[in-house]
Amino acid sequence: MRALLDAHPNIRCGEETRVIPNLLQIVHNWESGPYHQKLLENAGVTHDVLRDAAGAFVFEVIAKHGDWAPRLCNKDPLTFEHLPFLREIFPRARFVLMIRDGRAIVHSIISRKVPVVGFDWRKTVDCLKAWNKMIEKMYKDCKCLGPDVCLPVRYETLILRPEGELRRITAFLGESWSDNLLYHEKFVGSEIRLHPLEFSTSQVKKALNDDALHSWRIFYSDDVLSQMDTAAPMLRTLGYNTTTSDPSYKSMSEL
Residues noted as catalytic: 16
Strands 71-72 and 11-12: parallel
Residue 255, number of CB atoms within 10 A of its CB = 16
Cα separation, 186 vs 235, whole angstroms: 34
Centroid of chain to Cα 77: 4
Contact 135, 234 (CB under 8 A): yes
Q: Give me the torsion for CA of 22, 24, 30, 32, rounded to 10°.
A: -110
Cα separation, 170 vs 37, whole angstroms: 40
Q: Report the greatest alpha carbon distance in the chain.
A: 57
Cα separation, 105 vs 82, whole angstroms: 20
Cα separation, 71 vs 175, whole angstroms: 9
